[in-house]
């Protein structure tokens, strides 16, 4: 049967805001994080310590994290907070700002490794291994992201075997878990199950895995359902459907957290999230990014 409770891993402040044309002021980002937590989000990806030349929208990572730390937000009961770090420089910045958990990110394909990290897959894994070792030595847990797990706009379909090989390496390097990224939203439920089965055959259990669906082709919820039935209990999503990937053409936003929560609650699965408060937060944020939320559930709950 389905689990009674799952983890909603909220990526709006990071995956969402990294891709918006408007750079949101840091005090609005801090308020966004506080409001998401107030709506019951208990796993929150806050920002990235990447090159500000590559992602100017998140150039204020230090200021934001430091503010949340000094205001006690990072110490909220039961809160798991995460920041992205691409390299040793990013890790040092994150530690100095008081990060509690980090995430490294690599690509399953060579083209995207070049476009997103300016490296090969092998170089990206070598960088990740140094970052993971440094974080572990500082007592910080690490999440590992793999991008383009299903398909890549330049290389086409990605075979489950390639993803398994990378997942295995990241776990051996010391990642606590792996998030399987469908960066451009091309996955369909059968492909999701094929990848999860292949990971399972390689001895990688469902409790080490999360799924990260973008909703470009409208398949994200179907994919979530097949992952749920397989036994996955951690789902990445972005409040209001904010975000796309700036380095992957045609990739639209993440699955909206509201759409995810509507389905989970409908299945009788507890998330700890207050959907109405979350919708209010996304409506408020939409005034700062300058476009309405991209979520049928938000649209339905705010119409009339």
Could you tell me if 21 and 267 are in contact, meaning their C-beta atoms sit under 8 angstroms apart?
no
- Retrieve residue 213's tokens: 């669906």
Residues 115 and 170: their CA atoms lie apart, in Å, by 20
Number of residues that bind Mg ion (CB under 5 A): 1
Interface residues toward ligand HMG, by CB under 6 A = 15, 18, 48-55, 86-87, 89-90, 93, 105, 116-118, 145, 147, 181, 183, 212, 245, 247
Q: Of 215 and 258, which has the nearer Cβ to ligand HMG? A: 215
Q: Of 32 and 213, which has the nearer Cβ to ligand HMG? A: 213
| φ, ψ for residue 244, nearest 5 deg | -150, -165
Which among 33, 149, 175, 245 is annotated as catalytic? Answer: 245
Out of Mg ion, ligand HMG, none, which partner does residue 55 contact, by CB within 5 to 8 A per kind?
Answer: ligand HMG
Name the minimum Å distance from CB 14 to Mg ion. Answer: 9
Site for Mg ion in 6-45 (CB under 5 A): 15
Residue 149 annotated as catalytic: no
Out of Mg ion, ligand HMG, none, which partner does residue 295 contact, by CB within 5 to 8 A per kind?
Answer: none
Nearest to 109 by CA among 61, 181, 42, 158: 158
Q: Of 248 and 273, which has the nearer Cβ to Mg ion? A: 248
Residues 104 and 147: their CA atoms lie apart, in Å, by 11
Name the minimum Å distance from CB 119 to ligand HMG. Answer: 7
Name the minimum Å distance from CB 101 to Mg ion. Answer: 17
Cβ neighbours around 78 below 10 Å, total: 8
Could you tell me if 4 and 269 are in contact, meaning their C-beta atoms sit under 8 angstroms apart?
yes
Residue with tokens 């989000």, as numbered in its chain = 41
Nearest to 227 by CA among 271, 272, 190, 175: 190
Name the minimum Å distance from CB 4 to ligand HMG. Answer: 28
Catalytic machinery residues: 245
Contact residues toward Mg ion (CB under 5 A) are 15
């Amino acid at each position: 049967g389905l689990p009674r409770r799952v983890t909603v891993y909220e990526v709006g402040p990071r995956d969402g805001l990294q891709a918006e044309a408007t750079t949101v002021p840091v005090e609005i980002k801090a308020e966004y994080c506080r409001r998401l937590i107030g709506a019951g989000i208990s796993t929150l990806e806050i920002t990235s310590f990447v090159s500000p030349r590559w992602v100017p929208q998140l150039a204020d990572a230090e200021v934001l994290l430091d503010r949340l730390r000094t205001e006690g937000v990072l110490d909220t009961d039961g809160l798991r907070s995460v920041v992205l770090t691409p390299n040793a420089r990013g890790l040092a910045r994150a530690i100095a700002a008081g990060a509690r958990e980090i995430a490294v990110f690599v690509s399953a394909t060579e083209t995207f490794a070049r476009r997103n990290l300016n490296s090969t897959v092998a170089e990206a894994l070598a960088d990740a291994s140094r970052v993971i070792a440094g974080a572990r030595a500082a007592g910080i847990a690490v999440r590992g992201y793999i991008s383009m797990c299903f398909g890549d706009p330049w290389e086409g379909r990605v075979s489950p075997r390639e993803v398994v090989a990378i997942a295995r390496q990241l776990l051996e390097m010391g990642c606590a878990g792996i998030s399987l990224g469908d960066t451009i939203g091309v996955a369909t439920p059968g492909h999701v199950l094929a990848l999860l089965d292949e990971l399972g055959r390689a001895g990688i259990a469902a409790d080490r895995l999360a799924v990260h669906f973008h909703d470009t082709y409208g398949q994200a919820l179907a994919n979530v359902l097949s992952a749920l039935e397989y036994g996955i209990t951690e789902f990445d999503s972005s409040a209001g459907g904010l975000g796309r990937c700036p380095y992957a053409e045609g990739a639209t936003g993440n699955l909206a957290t509201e759409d995810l929560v509507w389905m989970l609650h409908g299945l009788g699965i507890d998330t700890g999230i207050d959907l109405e408060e979350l919708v209010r937060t996304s409506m408020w944020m939409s005034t700062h990014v300058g476009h309405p939320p991209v979520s049928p559930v938000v649209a339905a709950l705010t119409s009339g």
